[in-house]
Structure formats: C-alpha cells, structure tokens
Amino acid sequence: MNKKARLIKEVNDNIEKTKELVNEDYHRLKYHIMPPTGLLNDPNGFIHVDGTYHLFYQFHPFDTSHGLKFWGHVKSPDLVRWESLPIALTPDQWYETHGCYSGSAVNKGGALTLIYTGNVKDEAGNRETYQCLAISDDGVNFKKYKNNPVIHNQPQGYTRHFRDPKVWKKGGSWYMVIGAQTIRREGRALLFTSPNLKGWSLVGEVAGSNLNNLKDFGYMWECPDIFEMDDRDILIFCPQGLEAQGDFYNNIYQAGYFVGKLNYNNGKLDHGEFTELDRGFEFYAPQTTIDEKGRRLLIAWMGIPEREDHPTTRYGWIHAMTLPRVLELKNNKIYQNPVAELRTLRKNQIEYRGIEIRDEEIELKNIYGDVFELLIEIEVIDAVEFGIKLRCSRDGTEETGVIYNRKTRKLELNRDNSGKGYGGVRRCSLSSDLQLKLNIFSDTSSLEMFINNGEEVFTSRIYPAKTSKAIKFFAKGGGIRIKNLKKWDL
C-alpha cells in the first residue's frame, strides 16, 4: 500500500472505531458541519460550481488536537443539506509532511483546483512552507500537481509563517493573497500574481502591521481573503497578537476586515479601520466565495485556536463550522445575515405579537427548545435593561443571557452559567437603544445571534444540559413591547 492509501485507511478505521462514542454525544450539532471524528478547524476551498457548493475543511482525523491536517470535503445543493465526500487532500508528499494547511479553490477551465499550503517541520522544529496545487476532473478525486510546490518558501524579509493562499481571477490574471510575517515579527498580507496558477510573482504588500499608518497590529496575519463589493475591495484577515481594548479583541485571536481600494499594480490596499466580523467567543478563519447567484457568502470556523478544552473532546470530536452568511456592504460596514435557504429548515411555527413586559420575567407558552430559530422584534417603552435567557434549566442553575442595557447602550452575551465549557461575557454597542431585532439560531451546543438585520453577530458554543430548554423574557426598570416573535423548531 502506498502512503496515501495507508493514511486514508487509518482515517477510515478511526472514523469507524470512534463512531459509536461520537454519536453518543448529545452536543453533536443538528444543522452545522462537523468532523466525523477528531478536530475540524478552518474552512477551505469554499466554492460554487455547476450548482453545487463545495466546502473543504482543515481536518485532524486522529485526535481532538491540532495534528496532521487533511482536507475534509462536503458538498451541498443549497448550503443547508451537506453530503460528506472522501478526503480531498492527504498529506502524503515531501512538501506537506506535517499537514495540508489552509487554502482556497478556483474553477480553472472546468477543473476544480485547490491551492493550499504544504507544511513541513523538521526534527528541530524548523518550518518549511510550500504553496501547492491539486486538481480534480470530477470534483471528488484530487491529484497533486506534478511540479508542486508552485511557491517555495517565502520572499526575502519574511519568516516561514507564510500560508493560507486565497486565489481569484481578475482581468485574465490570477491573484493570490497570502498570510505572512516579516522578520521583525509583523503580520502582513501579500499579493502575488500568475498567468496560469503555476508560476507566481510577488506584486507587493497589501497591508500589514506598521504599514500605512497601521501601528503594531499583530505579529502574524492568518487566512487573508480579498474580494470586491460595490466597487470597494475588502480584505478579511486574522491578526494574531492584538491586545484587548474594552469590548474589542477579547478572544485570543481576531477575525475582521478593512474596506478600501486595492492597487493591482503595487498590491497596496488603501484602507480604513479594522472591524471585527463577530462579537462572540468562537469565530475564526472566515472564508468567502461568490456564488452563481452573485451573492458574497462567508463561512467561518466556529472555534478559535488554542482553545481545545471543549466538553465534546470526551466523545472524540471538536469544533464545527458557522452557518453560511450573506454579506452586504452599507456605509463601509459589512452586514451579515444567515442565507435565506436556512428557512427551509423551519418547522412548527409559533407566533406572538404585542406582548408587554414590565419589571418582570416571563415565559411564553410553547416557546422553549434547544434546536430552534427565534426571530424577535422588541420596542423599548421605558425599560433600563431587558433581554432573553436561553437554554434555562428548571432549577435555575443554567441559563445563557442576552441582555441589553440602555445606560451603557450595549448588548451582552453572558455564558457564565451556560453549562459545561468555557464561560465569559462579550459585549458590543449598537446603533439604536430603542429597538432591538434578534435572529437567533440555537443548536444543541451553539448560538448564532444576528442583531438588527446583520449589524453585529455573536457566535458561540455553549454546552447546556439536554433538559435545559426554557426561554425567558425580562424587563427591568420599566417596560418593553415584543412587537413580534416567531419561533421555529429546526
């Protein structure tokens, strides 16, 4: 058996061996992409071709830690129902002995082509980094390009933290943005170009720490992505090494964007301020694609590096993808909403209108659950604080708080009493303190909250007990009116 066949057999054996344990876990999600076993991290190769969405993912099939990475592969006709396909990339070549790291996909003349980072570490821990291609005629089986790697290590002045190529085509040329680090330990995004995906040349630095008035902005930038929206160019990236500042940058690493204008001749992005894409606890390495309907879609890892102590590890698996989101640009800010296709999951609609709550906490008949979508529009009468408690236990020990405070004008997600797993609080300011619209997606162990039509999003894992299903509404220091509330089981 060759190395690839041997590794694939080991993966399949391990999936088989751990299946029973994995499936015993109540916290397995019902409508999110998860690994069959082991660890999932970044989304890779997100693309829509011939009516099919493909998503690949960083996959460590042998353990719930970050080890030897493969590319897992799922496909879907509608971004809702995903089918699992055979492993797309197996680290079986000399240029990827320590994993097939993150990258992207393009459609090159009908051939689905993956561009990814081959990661190599020698015994002394020294890293080599190779950008590579793998090509498929059938969208399922991928062949590594025979002259891989197409980029050997990093350009001068940078370290071997050089990875995560995102490729697109513009005006007959291919472009690649890639995450990098200068020898002075400054994060960078670099632009390369190629006529054929095989030979690449450096165009220049797109943006970076201590470039263009951006002071001390991280020691490494991972997973960059560049795309056009309404005549602007957006750079998404994940800076590592930012200090927390009030409500900002509270997770270990960030994921956010610049809006600007990219100069394709020298690579420079003339950009504004950095904005975080998500205000919750678990969100990293987002990747976008434009689909055949012309929508800019985003999926991210619903996890974060160096936080591997989630309760699911006892069942042999960890992490998941976020729901797919549609992006729109309004006044230089990205608005994010769940894709409309998710509405096909809705069952058993319950609706309420015009409910006033004043200095009390209430429950509403038939409004409870663990796997549901909630759409709620609240109008403030004179309450000082109000909100919703989700996944509450009967004995009152477990609850996840979504609380708006009109004095601070901030919305808070509190998972200190959510059950097992990490606790903590995240907050953000909102533009209006008189109206609040929440679209909440709850799964067995996750929450995604889209606020005020996508102005902000909070994405988090929580691990309440199976029986913690009550939902409570409260107002303090005055009243609120729930104008409209709809709940569906998903």
Chain residues in the site for ligand FRU (CB under 6 A) = 41-42, 58, 69, 101-102, 117, 163-164, 222-223, 284-285, 305
Q: Residue 357 is inside which H or E element, if any?
A: strand 347-362
For residue 463 the two structure tokens come to: 């691990």
Q: How far is the CB of 330 from ligand FRU (least distance, A)?
A: 29
Q: Which residue has the tokens 């909102």?
A: 430
Determine if residue 314 is left, alpha or beta; phi over 0 gives left, psi from -120 to 50 gives alpha, anything else beta: alpha
63 is written with which tokens? 């353990």
Alpha carbon distances (Å) from 29 to 33, 71, 408, 457? 8, 21, 34, 19
Q: Least distance in Å: CB of 74 to ligand FRU?
A: 17
Task: Give the separation between CA 191 and CA 440, rounded to whole angstroms.
Answer: 37
Six-digit token string for 175: 């472009």
> Cβ closer to ligand FRU: 69 or 307?
69
Which residues sit opposite 227 in a β-bridge? 234
Residue located via tokens 């751990």: 18
Report, in Å, the least distance between residue 58 CB and ligand FRU. Answer: 4
Whose Cβ is closer to ligand FRU: residue 117's or residue 182's? 117
Q: Which is nearer to ligand FRU, 303 or 338 (CB)?
A: 303
Q: Residue type at 50? A: D
Residue 311, CA distances (Å) to 419, 436, 463 in order: 10, 32, 7
Judge contact between 104 and 166, C-beta under 8 A: yes
Active site residues: 42
39: left (phi over 0), alpha (psi -120 to 50) or beta: beta
- Among the listed residues 226, 109, 112, the one whose alpha carbon sits nearest the alpha carbon of residue 172: 109
Instruction: Work out how close the CB of 303 gets to ligand FRU at its nearest, in angstroms, rounded to a whole number.
Output: 9
3-state secondary structure (DSSP) of residue 201: strand
CB of 234 to ligand FRU, least distance (A): 19
Q: How far is the CB of 178 from ligand FRU (least distance, A)?
A: 10
* Inter-CA distances, 254 with 129, 242, 260, Å: 23, 8, 19
